[in-house]
Structure 1
Amino acid sequence: MPEPQPLGAVALHPHEDVILARAVRTCAGNPSQWDTWTTSGQYPYLRHRSGEGTVEQHPSEDVDTWDGAESRLLTHWNDGTGGGRIDLAGFLVLAGLRLAPGTAAG
């Protein structure tokens, strides 16, 4: 299987729904992670640990649904820091994601 590539700039991926309508931080320490929902209702799970960031798409935030055919890895990268803490703004830049205008991140 080929190594997943970062999504890159949002403009390069107009076919992907990369605009987040809601983001809820579920761990402020190590790893940094968020439950998010796109403007079209998709559920991406964001996680950063040991310098590695991942964006996984799943049917819902219910982990019991994560092993099905609807789950997939959207992107994975290593920022070289070895760190586990990152703020949402920094994560979104590295992942090629963005918040919808007026979206508050919790």
Structure 2
Amino acid sequence: SSCPYEEIVSLYHECLPELPQIVKLTDTRKKQVQARWNESEKTCHLEWWEGFFKYIKKSPFLKGENNRGWKADLEWITKASNFVKIVEGQYHALRPM
């Protein structure tokens, strides 16, 4: 299905203002977001993305509370290998999403 990039970026900014903001939606970013959007029956809904971003917000590590002060960004989050780790709960002291 057609991927609503702009709406996903808006949700990212709204839910995760503490993470690096997206200034330019590059081709790489679009491809990654679209690939994750089309990954399953669940991920092709904006409601799922809102929940996903809110889940990321619950991870201190992904928000920069780590020894390097590193923070996740949209490009990192939507990379296939990182995306599955987030969904599986590897960056949370919580249950998987």
**Fold agreement, TM-score > 0.5:** no
Q: Which has the higher contact order (CA 8 A, sep 6+)?
A: 1
TM (normalized to structure 1)? Answer: 0.26
**Bigger proportion of residues as strand:** 1
**Bigger proportion of residues as helix:** 2
